[in-house]
Amino acid sequence: MPNMVYMMTNMEVNQVIVFYREINGTLTIAGRFPTYGSGSGVRGVNFEAAKRGGIDPLSSQGALTLSPDGHFLFAVNAGNHSISSFIISNNGLPVLADVKPSGGAQPTSIAVFGNLLYVANVGNAANNFTSNISGFRIDQFGRLTSIPGSTHSLSSLNAQPSQVLFNPDGRKIIVSEISTNLLSVFHVNQDGTVTGPIINESNGMLPFGSLFLSSGVLLVTEAGSNALSSYSLNPNGRLDVISGSVPTGQKATCWVAVTKDEQFAFTPNTSSGTIAVYHIDRKGALTFLRNVASTPEGVPTGLPMDVGVSKDGRYFYVLNGNQGTISAFHIKDDGNLTIFQVAASSKAPYFGSQGLAVL
């Protein structure tokens, strides 16, 4: 299967934009594929307006998610409260498999483990939809079936989920709640339903993106503290802090990705237009190393958001939400990033795109 990068427009007519990834890491646009759902649309109409709300309209990580085996791609349609699934064909292009209601209102994030999928919904108080997570089974053709009894409220009725995430063995689900400064942990039952949540206070303000290392260490960005924290997860669902709120010195630290060897983490500082680089030791302790510009000098400043690392571990990609572009970097042995391309999905910059997945 070819190497690919996928991004989502999140426009009213939602689409997945696909790029071929060449052997040297450069991106070439391969096509646009409708989700047959509606995104949340664009709220900003110029650069300053974009910084105030036109970028990151979903406030989430995981809006566009690949299954771990790379066979399926899933997208949220926040505008019409649905999720879309695609089969990834042998040429790397997505083929629509299904569109289903998300089990709530305004889906923002998707997590997959085996044939189990969970989606986080922000909710809509005006229409009596509370914030929740809801579960589905994925069949061999990418079709989705809602799991009865799987919809479960978060820590409070109006908690805003920024990401839903399975732990490495699939027995726990973590939801970072940006509006409550909480990390909710659910136990996954054998029938695919969940129990919980076990409520944990975030070490820092506005927990946002999260990621599990293969060791079970949990990394969580903090958009309010402008920092990254690491935790260990106990079997009872309690989180213990390893490194608490290690700052970037920048603004709006939101998403997170790690290198293939899990020695380095990358976190976009959206409002500062930079990527923070951290070292991760064997116990999960974090050390901040440096900040790197998300776009090169002489190019309009990119406001970095969703991130991904290539499966060979050589390249790092970040979506610039104020442009609809993707910045491509070489990953050095010391974790440093060297930019070599800013790939455009259209001739004119646009705001509101959200979601990035790297195959």
Provide the pLDDT for residue 45: 38
Q: Which helix (H) or strand (E) is 47 found in, with range?
A: helix 47-49
Alpha-carbon span 58 to 357, nearest angstrom: 16
Residue 279 in tokens: 């070292």
Cβ atoms of 345 and 28 closer than 8 Å: no
Nearest residue to 354 (alpha-carbon basis) of 92, 101, 147, 44: 44
pLDDT per position as a tens digit, 168-226: 999 999 999 999 999 999 999 999 999 999 999 999 999 999 999 999 999 999 999 99
Name the pTM for this structure.
Answer: 0.94
**Which residue is it, tokens 């889906």?**
107
| Domain range summary for the chain, segments of one domain joined by + | 4-358
Provide the pLDDT for residue 74: 98
Distances in Å between the Cα of 49 and the Cα atoms of 42, 44, 65, 319, 322 are 10, 5, 28, 18, 10
Provide the pLDDT for residue 49: 42
Provide the pLDDT for residue 297: 86
Residues in the chain with pLDDT < 50? 43-53
Q: Which helix (H) or strand (E) is 172 found in, with range?
A: strand 172-177
- Judging by DSSP bridges, how do beta strands 27-34 and 207-212 pair with one another? unpaired
Q: Give the number of other CB atoms < 10 A from CB of residue 140.
A: 9
Domain 4-358 architecture? 7 Propeller (2.130)
Arithmetic mean of pLDDT over the chain: 92
Provide the pLDDT for residue 349: 59
- Judging by DSSP bridges, how do beta strands 64-66 and 207-212 pair with one another? unpaired
Burial (Cβ within 10 Å: 0-12, 13-18, ≥19) of residue 90: exposed
Region label for 161, one of left (φ > 0), alpha (ψ between -120 and 50) or beta (otherwise):
beta
Residue 71 in tokens: 């066979």
Cβ atoms of 111 and 121 closer than 8 Å: no
Alpha-carbon span 49 to 42, nearest angstrom: 10
